[in-house]
Every structure is written in structure tokens, then in C-alpha cells.
Amino acid sequence: MTDDMNPLWKLDRTLPAGSPFEPGALHDVVIVGAGITGLSTAVMLTRAGLDVAVIDAGGIAQLATGANTGKLSLLQGAQLATIRRHHPAALVRAYVDANRSGMEWLLAFAELAGVPFTRHTDHSYAQGPAGKDTVDEQHSAAREAGVPARLLPPASLPATPFPVAGAVALDDQVAIDPVAVSVALAQELLTAGGTLHTGVRATRTRALTGRVDTTQGPLFADHIVLATGTPITDRGLYFAKTRGLRSYCVSFRVPDDLPEGMFLSVDGPTRSIRPVTAADGPGGDARLVVGGNGHPVGRSDGEAAAVEDLIAWTQLHFPGAEETHRWSAQDYESHDLIPFVGAMPRGLGRIRFATGYAKWGLSNAPAAAQRLTSEILGTPRRDRPSWITTIGTRLTVPADIRRGAVEGGKVATALVSGWADAESRRTPVPQPAEGEGVVANRAGRPVAVSTVDGVTRAVSGVCPHLGGVLAWNDAECSWDCPLHASRFAPDGTRLEGPALRDLTPLSATDPE
């Protein structure tokens, strides 16, 4: 059951294992995280002649990079309209310029490395009349930011098996296999003499000594980059300046022709659609990837139901669609909707990070890598792209504060309600059925009990980050924190998020 959620992109894929770990090794740069951000930064710095090591607790493209939809687009659903509602046009243009720069870099790399991709027309579309105003806003914001988007009149709307009430289109956007490009980045890093350590978890960073503590021993560097989705340090409190979002994808074989182009709805429930062919994905046959139904991590009425809803929608509009894979991804969205990239506060200029891509990491990540590289190499500000300065000096506006306050209120509510719910349910509890989990009170402390693959386990039900009571994710059989999106396996092993420790194992039964 625990292997059911596996991305299409990891189909029959052998990933580079990397290099033997040498405790105490000194490098110019140590990068934590082997997704697109970490690997792009590593390649850029290695090309500049630096000695770079990348470490990851899992493997290459383990988390968000390996579980996205593989879309590279400047249109991005309603993202530009949403940013423009609260920020000046110059900042929206800088955001677009950053994404364009990141997209161009990644595609140039893919061409050089022989990673295939295909170009499509991307559509931000309304599923019903209520979404048409957002389509108009997105078109206006895109044009203002220099994106040559086209507002489609009713007679020109694409013929699709799913409802489209209005759409804005952008030609020459890209579909790519995100794991294939990640593997190619890792291979260039290793070929150039860089270092890659998989299965090595960073547990602490120390700015004064340039030290990264890991589960295998320390590494030392002049510069440290945290490319870990959310920073694995509480310096700067970025866990409170972003929110973790979980969303779902399902791939299908379909008997009829695939849609022409890529689609992302601007109204809810979110529907993301892209075709996959042998030219831009694994498997050697045509498939359809449908995504959506996102929600804040740990705050859902049912993760498995969200996946089943995507399947039902697809089979309604694509009769005969046969599911091949299902998976999910975790992304972080900043309260001001623009990624945070650069020097970590109180990091003495040694520690840098990137977070808050809001589900558009394939373009934002290489853009972040360009900024991180320019800072580490000491490129004069006058020689850096203008978008770096515009984004790096943006101001917090009242809307950002309101969004942060609303999210902070939801976090506080989740904290209180989690403890109250656990208090109301005391152990012993009936053994959970297969694939189910429950949090109950044992001697004043929440205990999380689950049954997965026939094994019933109990672990501490309290997140070691800031004390939130965990919620059971019935789609992925994990314990998820509703506060700041840390996640844990049934046995308590940390999976992702700002928490740095595993959950404490406990007895599955109450002591006599």
C-alpha cells in the first residue's frame, strides 16, 4: 500500500547514486537538496570552477521536483493576475522576467544534454461563467508584464472534452519530464568533478564555521545553500512566511486523441491537464496527466477522496481513461506570492536559501539558482539582471500582511483543535484498519497509531518542530502537520518540512 503513490516520471528509472561520503570534507559550496534548485545551482557553480557538493536525504528529484506536472509556462493559471491585484506592475514584470530567464536556462541545458521536450500552447481557462473575469484579469496582467498572451473569443475556444467557458492562451510553452532533466543535471555535476551524496540528511547548519551536520558526519564549506523546499533552519522564520500546499496528480492511458495543448483552470476546483508523449515523458506511449484538488498540508477533509475525485472527473470527460499512476507533491507559497531567494538572516553571508515557488518550480528554481550563483560568485549588482534587484528589494504591502495574518490564524486554530481532538479520544483505541490512522491521548500526550502493510505502529502524535498535533493522510499513509507542513512516515521517519527530527516510536498498545 505504501508504494501506491509513485510519479509517472519515476517509471523504470535508475537514478545516479552519487559519491562515497567523506566526513569532514571541505568544499567551496555545500548544497542541501537534489531537486531542480539544488542541482541547477550546483551545475552553474561547477561551470564557474567551484568545488560543489550536493546532499539529499532521499535521492535525485525525491520530492516536489519529481512529482510535479512537468509544465514550463509563463502563463501559470491565474498567478499573474493574483500577483497584480496586490503589487505594482514592475514587480509582476520582474517575476515574469525571472521565470523567463529560468525557463530559457533550463531548456538550453535540456537541449545540450539531449533531454527531450515538446512545445504546446498553454491555456489559463475558466470552467464556468464565474471564472471568466479572472481569465480577463490574467490576460491583462500578462500583457502588461510583456507576455504575448491571447484572449480567445468564444468562437476560438479550443475543442476539448471538458468544459471551457473562456480562456487566455500562450504559444510555445513547454512540457518536459522533470526527473529526466534532474538526472541530466546530476550527471553533468558528477562528470565535472562535483560531489553528490544521496541518502544523507542534513540535521543542522552552522554559519560561523561553515558547517553542515548530517546523519553521516559533518561537511564544511565557504557557502551553504538550502534548496530544501522550505529552509531546514528557523533563522528568518520562513516557515511562518509561507504555507505548505499538497496537490495531486493522476496519469492515464486514454483511448482517444490527447488534448492539443496544456490547460490550467483559474476557478475551482483546480484542474491541470497536460498530454505526455514519448517525446516528453517516460513509458513510450501517450498518456494524460490530470492534477488539482490542492489544500494546505494536514488540513483536508480527505486526501484519498481528493485523488478519487480527479479520477472520476477524468473518466467522465475522457471515457475509457485507464489510470496508470497517482502521486502528490508539496509546494510552498509565500504570503506575498513571490519566491524568497537569497542570504539567510543571521547566516553571516554564508547561508543562502530559496523557497516559495507556489507550484511553479521548473521555472522559478533555475531563476533562483541564477540569483544564488551571482551572489556566491560576487557578481557586481550592476552586472546582474534587473529582475534580481526588483524582486530582492520588494516591499511588503498590506495585502501580504493580511494573508500572513489569516494563515497565522488558521495555524493557531489547527494547533488548538488538534490538541483538543486528541484529548477527547483516549487510548486504548481499536486497532486502525489497513491504511488508516488515529491520534488519541495516552497519559496526557497525543499518540499516533496507524496500520500500514499489515503492521500497526504507534509514534508520538506531536510534530517536533513547533508542537502541532499530526493528522493522518489517508492517500499517502503519512502523518502530516497542519501547522507548517512537516510530514512523517508511519514509523515516524521524517519525510519533509521544517522539522528536523523523526517522531519518537511508542508501543502500539497501552502498558498494562
pLDDT, tens digit, 9 for 90 and up, residues 408-430: 888 889 888 888 888 888 888 88
pLDDT of residue 2: 39
28 vs 218: CA distance, rounded Å: 14
Task: Give buried/exposed letters for 331-341 (b at 16+ CB in 10 A, else e).
Answer: bbbbbbbbbbb
pLDDT of residue 348: 94
Confidence of residue 476 (pLDDT cuts 50, 70, 90): very high
3-class SS at 432? Answer: coil
Of how many residues is the chain composed? 512
Which of 354, 365, 496, 356 shows the shortest CA–CA distance to 37?
Answer: 365
pLDDT over threshold 80, residue 157: yes
pLDDT of residue 283: 67
pLDDT over threshold 50, residue 3: no
- The alpha carbon of residue 492 and the mean position of all alpha carbons in its chain are separated, in whole angstroms, by 22
pLDDT of residue 512: 44
Residues 6+ apart with CB under 8 A from 299: 410, 414, 471, 482
pLDDT of residue 511: 55
> What is the H or E stretch that residue 178 is in?
helix 178-191
Residues 6+ apart with CB under 8 A from 393: none
Q: Which CATH number fits domain 118-175+243-333: 3.40.50.1970, 3.40.50.620, 1.25.40.340, 3.30.9.10?
A: 3.30.9.10
147-154: long-range contacts, CB 8 A cutoff, minimum separation 24 = 147/74, 147/75, 147/80, 147/96, 149/75, 152/123
- Give the predicted TM-score (pTM) of the model: 0.94
Which of 51, 43, 54, 61 shows the shortest CA–CA distance to 189?
Answer: 43
Tell me if 152 sits within 8 A of 257, measured CB to CB: no
31 vs 53: CA distance, rounded Å: 6
pLDDT of residue 1: 37
In the block, cell 547548519 appears at: 205
pLDDT per position as a tens digit, 229-248: 999 888 888 888 999 999 99
Cell of 168: 487566455
Other beta carbons within 10 angstroms of residue 59's beta carbon come to 19
Domain spans in the chain, listed from the N-terminal domain onward: 118-175+243-333, 409-496
Average pLDDT in the chain: 93
358 vs 327: CA distance, rounded Å: 18
Strand boundaries in 281-419, DSSP class E: 287-296, 322-334, 340-343, 351-355
Least confident of 10-14, 150-154, 209-213, 246-250: 10-14
162 vs 126: CA distance, rounded Å: 11
Residue 125 DSSP code: E
Average pLDDT over residues 457-463: 97
Average pLDDT over residues 35-46: 98
Which of 459, 487, 67 shows the shortest CA–CA distance to 297?
Answer: 487
CATH architecture under which domain 409-496 falls: 3-layer Sandwich (2.102)
pLDDT of residue 429: 86
